[in-house]
Structures are given as C-alpha cells and as structure tokens.
Structure 1
Amino acid sequence: MRFFILILLFCCTFKGFSGDFSGTLNGAFTVHILLGTQEKAFNFGVSIFGTSTYKSTSVEGGININISPFFQKYGVYQGNFAGSMEFFGLIGYGKNANLLGSNVGLTRHTAFYDYTKTHNFFYGAGLVAVLNQATGNLKKFQNKQGGLILRFSDKQNSVAFNMVNDVNARPFSKSGTDKGNTARALISYTTIKNDELFGVGIGLDMFTPEADYGVAPHSHINSEEDTRLVLVNTKPYDDLFHLNLFSSFVYQNDDISFDGRFGVDNYKLGALVQNIIHDNFGLYPRFSWPVTQKGRFYSLLDFNVPFNTNFNE
C-alpha cells in the first residue's frame, strides 16, 4: 500500500516546484444506480486522481472508494451492504495532463479529463490493489486483489489493460484466496471528443464459492475432458459460480456518466480459465464448476452522476 500512497504524495507535491515540474489533482463524489442480471444497488463513491510530470517522466495515481446498499449482489437477493477500495499507481514516459489515466479503474469510478490538452502522450505501467468488503452471509466472500496496469496514450486517445487476481501474500495476507470475486481483467479504449468522453472495452469477471478444505474432495465432472477430483464448498451459496465475459460501453460528459456491460455468464469458460491457472501452478484439486449448465445472458447498467472538484484552482 505504501507504493500507492507515495504515488499520490508525489502527485501532490508539484505545486512546491517550478520549471520542469507540473501536475494536477482532482476529486469527485459520485452517485450510481446499478441495474443488472447479477447486481441491483445504489452506490456512493469517492474518486481521487493525481498526476505529476518532471521533464519527460510522469507518474499518476488514484483511489476509488465505494459503498453500496444493495438488493442483489453476485446474483443473490439479500439486502445488505458492500464496499470496495481500489488503489492504483503508474510511472512512465511522456506528459499526461489530459487525465485519461483516471479511467483505468476496475471498480465504480468517474473519469477526469481535460479536452483542452490535445498533444499529450504517456506510455507507462503500474500496480493496482482492490479490497472487497461485504456484510451478512456474503461476508465470507471478502477478499483482496492485486494486479498490473499497462497504459498507452497518444493525444486524446488511451488504451489500457488492467488485470487483478485474489492474493494471499503481503500486503494482502490473511485475506484468503479462491473465493468471491477471484479475478478481473479489462482492456479498454478511451477517447475525448470535444467535452465528451467515449470508451469501449472487453472484460472478464470471475466469482467462485468458498472451498471447505476440511472435507475430502470428491469426483465430479469439472470439464469436458473427464471426471476429476473437485473441492466441496461451504454453505450457504456453495454453488455460486460466475464467469462474466462482456463488452463495455462508456459515455461521460460534465453532468452524467454511463457504463453499459453486455455479455455472457459462461460456466464452461470459467472452468477452462480456472483449470488452466490451477493446473499450471500445481493447485489441485479443481473447483466444482457446473459445466453441464448452459451459459446465461449478462448485463450491468451503471448510471452515474459525478460532482467534481478541481484542486488546482
């Protein structure tokens, strides 16, 4: 976590220098309405994003904090609360004053952008950490994720790749692995047109139940290959599996933001992805994905009203 704090502190120090130093700092409070096949909720969020440039070296970092009173989460109808905190930081070559790096987050967020900056470019890489929280019976699915971000931007266009996986190593120890939202990935393209932002992307979102390691694995059809030994899962929600493969469409102006996601929740693909990861790393046995069930349509509509603050004025 120190890495992300240092990135933000560095972004905030530019005002103390002159000449070759420049930078920005922006924040927003957001209100979301989420309507989807697996999630129905209100969401209240805070997004902070900063950049700093010294000659041709730039850093950028952000924090996205969300609290959601939900009616449906992970496909489960149980009124309760969920929350998340996302930290990310990148370092690279170029000048990033148009703020397009603010749109790399995987959790709910608002993007900051400056359409008056038309000649920026940035080629960088960094790290991301996500803390997922929940209450009630879904509390057992709390976990922490870590991953990698790559971003390449030219003028008013940006391409980003963001991937996280649940981890159980410092600074994420004692969080448990292979339960809840175990993996996410998104490759996205964002562009500024006048005072509007447009984005498209392809993403993946995986969810698995909590395994009961105190019970001996049993034989189960986990893939189209053969019957394999698979783990027994804890109740309740011992059969709660999702692999959402989706397309993302983003629109934002000064007043509203919209993110629509449409795709498929496919159990065979989920088993394939997790089996490849587990088999290659020697993690055995497998999880009991219901591969004989057909995939289902997946959608999520995020209507967002941002209240932005520019700390540079």
Structure 2
Amino acid sequence: MKHSFGIIVIFLIFFNAPQLLAQKFKANGGVLVKAEITLGNQNQWLKVGVSGLGTLSYGDIALESGLSLASYAFLKRHTLKTEGFAYYYEFFGLAGVGKNSNLLGATVFNTNTALLFNPLGKGGFNGLGFGVSKEVLPNNLKSYGLKRGALLMRFSNANHNFHFAFRNDLKIGLFNGAGTDYGVTGSLDLGFTKIKGPETIYQLGFGIDLFTPRPDYSRSPRNPINSDNGRKNVWYTLPPIVDLFYGNVYVYGTYQEEYVSVHSKIGLNSQKTGAYIQNTLHDGLGLNPRFPWQVETKNKLYIEISGNVLKKEVSNE
C-alpha cells in the first residue's frame, strides 16, 4: 500500500512538473511604434521607429532584452546642414534580480524620446548588461555611421527607475564597438524615470556626447592644436569634415501621455570640456595620440526638442 501511494505521488509530480515550472516562469513584453519630429541646432529630422522589450523571470532571477529599429529623413545631422536618409538599430540584454514586470528596461534605449512601460507591472529589477547599436548614414557622413557598444545598468522598483548607459566605439570583450575612435565616440546617460499613472510617465536625466572627425593615419601626429605646447602627440584629421568636434553636456526631460510625448535637451557644446574628457581618457589609458579639439572656442548653446505620436501595447503573464 505504501509503495502504491509513493508511486502515485511520483506520478503526480512528474505529470504536473511542466505546470509547476510554468507557474514560476513569468514573461512580460511590449512594443512601441512612434513617429517623431526633432528640431535643434545640431539635429533636425522626421523619424519613424518601432521598439520592443521582453522580460523573463524565474523567482527573483530576471532577464530582459530590447530591440529598436528606426529610419529617418534629416535636414541637419551632427551640426551639419545636409539632407539625407538614415537607418538605425539597437539591441541590448541585461541580467539581474527582481520580478521585472514594469518594462522600464526600455529607458536604456539610446532613442528613448518616447517610453515603453507597463503601469500594472509592480515588479522591480536591478541588473547589468551590454548592448550594441549602429547608425547607417549617407553621403559625406557615411563613414560616421559607426557601431557602438554599451555598458548598461538599471535599478528599479514598482514605478521608479534609475539607469546608467555608457556607449563607446571601443571593441573589447562583450563591449562590441567598431574600434574606430571617431564620430560619436563616447556617450554617457544617467536618467531617473517615474510612472505617474496608467498612461503617464516622465523622465529626467543628464548626458554627455563627444564627437570627433576621422584621424589621418598617413600623417605623423604632430598637430600643434591641443598638444600642450608640443608635449603630446595629436592627430591631423581627414576631409571632408576636418574640424567637426562637439562636446555636449546637457540635461534632458521627457513627459508622456497616452499617445504623445515631448522630449527636450538643453546644455552646452563645449570643446574645452570635450577635450578635457577625451584627453584624460587617452592620456591615462595610453590611447595616444589626442585629437585636435579647438579648446579656445567659446561654448555654444545646445538645444533640442522632440515631439512624438505613439502607440504602445504591453502584455504580461
């Protein structure tokens, strides 16, 4: 009798194992489609894009990944007045702890002028991961459509989120950039996000973007500009864009309702700051030579505003 009872128990456990496991795995996801207009003194474009985020948790262990695709027609890009059509893609993955059901992982997208979120998801997330992005640009900007890697972190509870994103064209280990060290070579993004209601969310943050032209490897790096009176090696740069540098230091904000969002950035384009940051990295890590930042150039205002019409769909299990 005891043996029969044991066999029945084992049979019931085996038969119901898939259901027991399924009850512990939780999946959430969402998709956002948007049309965007951006106006500013460095970039002007009309863009359409789609982004998606998926999460999977088992107990307190969670994974998430996101994909963003966009295409846009621009009148101005990287401060240059030039027309063209460009494409962009981005992918990332993070691992960490938490129930991870609010979908605020979408905040780490580089193109997060509109935000995907799940107001009913009360599960937070603390995690770390990596990403990769690439922009495909035309004409004289073609060589600046670089692949960049990203180091990503975020810390979230039910309806609050803090994210950290460092992007660079370095190529080392899981950091899968192009290894070029020019163009939008480095970016830093720190942001705080809060879900205010079923369809309302806002975000505040701080960012740094550095842009340098292509170095001329055929010439000896004895450019006197930014050389500390000849003590440091400095590249010459290649045409057609030999003197395009910017070091943007800015704050940003996003406010979003059900079908619309507004995103804005304001700060300074400071070549002196850009040179200081890049010189510190290049000199300290031995990534000589430097680039010929025009360190005597006066700081300029950097401003950008984006408006989006959007539609999002979320699901959870």
Same-fold status (TM-score > 0.5): yes
Confirm or deny: 8 A CA contact 2:97 2:127 kept in the other structure: yes
Contact kept, 8 Å, 1:250 with 1:258, in 2: the verdict is: yes
Q: TM-score, normalised by structure 2?
A: 0.88
User: Which secondary structure does the structure 2 equivalent of 1:148 belong to?
Assistant: strand
Matches within 5 A, 1:37-116: 37-108=41-112, 110-116=114-120
The Cα of 1:46 is off from its aligned counterpart by: 1.1
2:274 corresponds to 1:270:
yes
Trace 1:223-262 onto structure 2 (pairs within 5 A).
Answer: 225-227=228-230, 228-262=232-266
SS in 2 for 1:95: coil
Query: How far apart are residue 247 of structure 1 and its match?
Result: 0.2
Kept after mapping to 2: 8 A contact 1:27/1:308 = yes
Q: Indicate conservation of the 8 Å contact 1:127/1:147, yes or no.
A: yes
Equivalent of 2:25, from 13, 21, 24?
Answer: 21
What residue is the counterpart of 1:133 in the other structure? 136
Q: 1:209 aligns with which of 203, 213, 226?
A: 213
Corresponding residue of 2:203: 199
For the structure 1 residues 172 and 123, does the alpha-carbon distance in structure 2 shift closer, same or farther, using more than 3 Å as the test? closer
Alignment partner, residue 160 of structure 1? 163
CA distance in 2 between counterparts of 1:67 and 1:226 reads: 44
The question of whether the paired residues in 2 share the 8 Å contact of 1:47 and 1:109 is answered with no
TM-score by length of 1: 0.89
2:185 aligned with 1:182, yes or no?
yes
1:298 CA drift (Å)? 0.3
CA deviations 1:154-208 (Å, max 9, x no partner) are: 2210111011110245788894512211111101000011121011000111111
- Alignment check: 8 A CA contact 1:26 1:112 kept: yes
AA in 1 matched with 2:206: I
How far does residue 286 in structure 1 lie from its aligned partner after superposition? 0.9
Residues 175 and 126 (structure 1), Cα distance of their counterparts in 2 relative to 1, 3 Å cut:
closer
Matching residue of 1:148: 151
Please tell me the residue identity of whatever aligns with 1:284: N
Q: Give the counterpart letter for 2:36 in structure 1.
A: H
Relative to structure 2, which stretch is displaced further, 280-289 or 196-205? 280-289
Identify the range of structure 1 (300-309 vs 39-48) with the bigger mean alpha-carbon deviation. 300-309
* Cα deviation code 1:77-111 (max 9, x no counterpart): 11012222111111111111111111111125532
Overall identity of the aligned pairs, in %? 33
* Aligned twin of 1:121: 124
Q: State whether residues 47 and 110 of structure 1, in contact with CA within 8 Å, keep that contact through their aligned partners in structure 2.
A: no
User: Which structure's CA Rg is the greater one?
Assistant: 2
For residues 127 and 240 of structure 2, the distance between their equivalents in structure 1, rounded to whole angstroms, comes to 43
